[in-house]
Amino acid sequence: MEHYPRLVGDVGGTNARFAIETAAGCFEAPAIYPNKDFAGFADVLRHYLSQEEAVLAGSKKLKYAAVAIANPIEGDWIKMTNSAWAFSIERIRTEFGFEVFIMVNDFTALAMSLPSLPPAYTKQCGGKTAKKGRAIGLIGAGTGLGVSGLIPAQDGWIPLEAEGGHVTFSPFDELEIDILELARKKYRHVSAERFLSGRGIEFLYELLSEIKKGERRSLAASDIIEHALNEKNGLCDQVIDVFCDMFGTIAANLALTLGAKGGIYIGGGIIPRLGERFFASGFRKRFEDKGRFSDYLAGIPVFVITDTYAAFGGVSLLLDNYLKRTSVV
């Protein structure tokens, strides 16, 4: 029995995305909502399901639902790391009348979408050709820093449920050492996410203004990016330079850890927002700057994901796998 229509979703720390899957790979009535406009997950879901487009796509007939979320999934209770939202998975299932409702990690879902992601929805940043049947790495900066990957298995792929964004940040040069020393005055543990995220860009701006200008200043990440895209050699431009360099280091660490000859993919909202500014940055140079393993990394391609709804395909596959395991018919 086919399990359609069904709900798919992708909830980050800033936005919630939903669609109705009416047939395999056919996602109708896609929508994006800012989290700040809703008190909780149930509120935004209720709002989406009541919209005319969703109703026409079958929102009143849903029995199966799967939603990716920027959070570890441990048991029934969800308390988002980078949002105030908290809720019970089972309570959502019963409130909305779903027979099956599962939640999965957002980057695990995005990783599952990669093997079938059309090349038109990616843009390559250096390297050679991805090797088939080899591990694939995934990293992305948004409200937080997401990390996952795919390990090849005999009958497909095994997605990783990882929290690599919270690994300890490691500086590469003297400037990054200075940045880390200042950051440690505020945080005992400085993770990669402290710098490689939306809030991280704001934190970098504060620290670099103190280092370069002698006084700590504050500015919203959106404004920093906007100034960097339109100005040259200003403080915002320097912030993005440092951000991209740091991103190259952590992406290369992931590539080495996984042996990601199948490529590194970049998701999240920030890198696509930077556009050509990212491709002109020091990211690729830093990515390959690993001493004896520089040649190893030089061949690994990096792909920036440009599809806003890319995770939906992975969410759908994870729901399929769940239904097969539980023999839901």
| Domains of the chain and CATH, by start | 6-111+309-325 (3.30.420.40), 118-305 (3.40.367.20)
Listed residue (95, 31, 104, 40) closest to 67, CA to CA = 104
Q: Is 11 annotated as a binding residue?
A: yes
Q: Is 308 annotated as a binding residue?
A: no
Q: Is 167 annotated as a binding residue?
A: no
Q: Is 22 annotated as a binding residue?
A: no
- Structure confidence at residue 297 (pLDDT): 98
Q: Is 9 annotated as a binding residue?
A: yes
- Structure confidence at residue 13 (pLDDT): 86
**Residue 18 CB partners (closer than 8 Å, separation 6+):** 7, 8, 9, 10, 29, 30, 31, 33, 45, 48, 54, 67
Spell out, as residue ranges, where the chain has pLDDT lower than 50. 1
Residue 259, strand partner residues: none
- Structure confidence at residue 50 (pLDDT): 97
d(CA 168, CA 312): 30
> Are 206 and 194 within 8 A, CB to CB?
no
Q: Is 273 helix (H, G, I), strand (E, B) or coil?
A: helix
Q: Is 14 annotated as a binding residue?
A: yes
- Structure confidence at residue 173 (pLDDT): 96
d(CA 75, CA 136): 27
Structure tokens at 225: 């990016």
- The pTM is what? 0.92
- Structure confidence at residue 328 (pLDDT): 60
